[in-house]
Amino acid sequence: MTREKIEGKWNKEMEKRNFIRWYRNANHEEIEKVNGEGKRILERLLIEYTDEIEMINKSKYQTNLSPSQI
């Protein structure tokens, strides 16, 4: 594996970890604020990490919300 591929995979994993950590701790108002300011980025991340988001929603809200319902 080349150095660029390794760095790319590492950067992607860090993006995932950072987003999941932020999402887990964000309240509804913070998510709405980002949804207005960085809607395209938030939508991409929500789609990309749907499985993880659904697990967080189930534990955070004790329901079966999908990312689009938040």
pLDDT digits (tens, 9 = 90+) for 32-63: 888 888 889 999 999 999 998 888 888 876 65
- Kindly report whether the global pTM for this prediction surpasses the value 0.85: no
Nearest to 57 by CA among 32, 23, 9: 23
- How far is 35 from 17, CA to CA, in rounded Å? 19
Q: Which band of pLDDT confidence, cut at 50, 70 and 90, is reported for residue 19? A: very high
